[in-house]
């Protein structure tokens, strides 16, 4: 029975659950009898505690995955795929007004090539945007204060608070992961597209 080992650059339960849920969805695209193991490791993103741009979110996700690949290479724990997940804000100007969106990003690499995926976005209230983007408060602290709860990051996340629990933090990362893994599990289509572009 084939074994596919996925190393994720986090030990937080919502992120690891998201990786497992995504893997359960695309597992059969590798082969019907593939077994997937997900292992979490604590690695640094190399970006600020709450990224404030799409570029910083993408860089944080990539750096987590690459740091993990470097850390595990040459050990008894190599993986087929290395995953970096990064959540944060994308601050944009639209018709002269600042708009701030919460996003979840994933980067997946097999050690040779890598791909990004994103969850989509949800606009955050101006008061929360001001606290995080201007005052520099960590989003996990600000959302706890904003919602009057504790430990939201390890539960439904800011996504859950903002969407009235219709979309959780875990779900947002699952979507990002399914998208980031697509060139690997849907390899035939992506290879055909590359060939046609040449």
CATH (domain of 24): 3.90.950.10
Answer whether residue 142 is part of any domain.
no
| Dihedral sign for Cα atoms in the order 73, 74, 77, 79 | positive
Answer whether residue 58 is part of any domain.
yes
Q: Which domain holds residue 17?
A: 3-124+167-197
Q: Rounded to an integer, what distance in angstroms lies between the CA atom of residue 23 and that of residue 178?
A: 8
Q: Tell whether the model's pLDDT for residue 198 goes beyond 70.
A: no
Res 11: pLDDT: 95
**Looking at the 3D structure of the chain, how many domains does it have?**
1
Answer whether residue 141 is part of any domain.
no
Answer whether residue 143 is part of any domain.
no
Interval 159-181 mean pLDDT? 97
List pLDDT tens digits, range 4-15. Answer: 999 999 999 999
Answer whether residue 99 is part of any domain.
yes
Answer whether residue 13 is part of any domain.
yes
Q: Rounded to an integer, what distance in angstroms lies between the CA atom of residue 177 and that of residue 185?
A: 12
List pLDDT tens digits, range 48-98. Answer: 999 999 999 999 999 999 999 999 988 888 899 999 999 999 999 999 999
Answer whether residue 92 is part of any domain.
yes
Answer whether residue 105 is part of any domain.
yes
């Amino acid at each position: 029975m084939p074994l596919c080992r996925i190393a994720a650059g986090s030990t937080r339960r919502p992120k690891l659950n998201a990786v497992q849920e995504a893997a359960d969805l695309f597992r059969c695209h590798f082969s019907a009898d593939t077994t997937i193991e997900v292992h979490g490791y604590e690695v640094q993103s190399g970006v600020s505690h709450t990224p404030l741009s799409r570029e910083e979110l993408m860089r944080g996700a990539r750096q987590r995955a690459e740091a993990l690949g470097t850390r595990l290479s040459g050990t008894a724990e190599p993986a087929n795929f290395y995953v970096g997940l990064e959540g944060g804000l994308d601050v944009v100007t639209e018709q002269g007004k600042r708009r701030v969106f919460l996003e979840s990003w994933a980067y997946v690499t097999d050690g040779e090539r890598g791909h990004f995926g994103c969850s989509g976005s949800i606009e955050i209230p101006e008061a929360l945007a001001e606290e995080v983007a201007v005052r520099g408060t960590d989003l996990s602290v600000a959302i706890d204060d904003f919602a009057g709860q504790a430990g939201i990051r390890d539960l439904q996340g800011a996504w859950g608070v903002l969407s009235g629990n219709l979309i959780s933090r875990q779900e947002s990362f699952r979507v990002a992961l399914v998208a980031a893994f697509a060139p690997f599990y849907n390899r035939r289509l992506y290879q055909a597209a590359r060939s046609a572009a040449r």
